[in-house]
Amino acid sequence: MPAQIAADRGHVDCAATAVGEGESPPAASAGVGYGEGSEGLELGGEGGGEQSGGREERSDDSEDGGGWRGAVVSEAERGPCDVAVVAAAGLSSARFLREFVDPERPVLVRNGSAGLAGLRQLLARERFVERHGALRVRVSHVPYHDGTMARETTIADFVTDFVTAMADGGMPGEVPDSTTSNSGSSSSADYLFEALAPNHPLHEPLSAHLPGFVSDAIGTEWRDERKVQLAVGPPGTGAPPHLHKAAVNSLVFGRKRWYLMPPRDAVYGAQPIAQWVEEGWPERHRSAGRKVLECEQNAGDLLYIPDFWGHAVLNLEPSVAIASEIHTPRMQFMFRG
């Protein structure tokens, strides 16, 4: 049986500090490197982690759910976030660079994804399948791992299969309950995780997710050096821990829990994420002295992950996400001709 989501937070390693909409977090920019002052910064009233009942299924024609059959999550139901949380409204590219990119601090920007109205239209389930269902994609239990098999299918077959399975009550994947380590109750399903080549028909429309504060921070010369990835999957799917250059992750529909590890504590994994969580690896790594932060991302939110931060992600609801890897000024310096 799918476990209760987001109610399984076993660690409390940072206290929440209220930050008003659009206000700057405390001057962590003075301290270089991860962590200093970065954890637990919250927008007022958000991220308290309190769970309430009353969750309801979204219907196919629900505009904000896009027909993906996820549960409605109110603001009060949002799970906690251990990294800085800021409002998109107060975020200029200068501030983004100064407070997050240069000091290499992750940040969750509430409603920070750009082009959301258009992306919700493009990626609403029925329309997406109707217009782009014939596109071939690779799906696998474990994206980002060369040793596991991916299979090729079409968007239509993949989406129809998992949504039908969910509607029939046969969840293709399940969200593990990390409070009951090794209970073996979670199962993993296939995840669509596709890096789109520049000539791919979805490359340009999905690139719309990148907000001005990010693209201005990158600068024009490096703007096209972006990898754009599409990630779609049912609850329980996601990516195991891995690391790469900085990434901007937008969630169009759904709900995700991220696990973030600063570069010195980053790990790499090849297990389905549901198993990794169920076996208690976040807590095991913490017990071994590694820092593992958690952050719930809701639809519309953008998560910035700095260069070489380890990260893993678990889909708590059927999720449709776009990720772009970017060249920060530091990487531009390293790779300049």
Ligand X SMILES: O=C(O)CCC(=O)C(=O)O
Answer whether 3's CB lies under 8 Å from 314's CB. no
Examine residue 311 and tell whether it contacts ligand X (CB under 6 A): yes
Residue appearing with tokens 């109750």 = 185
Examine residue 249 and tell whether it contacts ligand X (CB under 6 A): yes
Six token digits for residue 269: 């994994």
State the minimum distance, in angstroms, from the CB of residue 270 to ligand X.
Answer: 14
Examine residue 209 and tell whether it contacts ligand X (CB under 6 A): no
Q: Interface mask (CB under 6 A) for ligand X, residues 158-187, using x and -?
A: ------------------------------
Answer whether 14's CB lies under 8 Å from 49's CB. no
- Residue 226: which residues within 8 A CB-CB, separation 6 or more? 207, 210, 324, 325, 326
State the minimum distance, in angstroms, from the CB of residue 290 to ligand X.
Answer: 18
Q: Which of 229, 275, 298, 328 binds ligand X (CB under 6 A)?
A: 229
Stretch that binds ligand X, among 38-46, 101-109, 231-239, 282-290 (CB under 6 A): 231-239
Half-sphere exposure of 208 (CA within 13 A, CB side): 15
Six token digits for residue 227: 């990898």
Q: Which is nearer to ligand X, 71 or 192 (CB)?
A: 192
Answer whether 155's CB lies under 8 Å from 128's CB. yes
Answer whether 239's CB lies under 8 Å from 312's CB. yes
| Gap between the Cα atoms of 196 and 299, Å rounded | 22
Taking residue 131's Cβ as centre, other Cβ atoms within 10 Å add up to 12
Examine residue 318 and tell whether it contacts ligand X (CB under 6 A): no
When CB distances to ligand X are compared, the closest residue is: 323
Examine residue 238 and tell whether it contacts ligand X (CB under 6 A): yes
Q: Which of 43, 123, 189, 247 binds ligand X (CB under 6 A)?
A: 247
Examine residue 67 and tell whether it contacts ligand X (CB under 6 A): no
Q: Which is nearer to ligand X, 124 or 246 (CB)?
A: 246
Instruction: Give the footprint of ligand X on this chain (CB under 6 A).
Output: 229, 231, 238-239, 247, 249, 311, 313, 321, 323
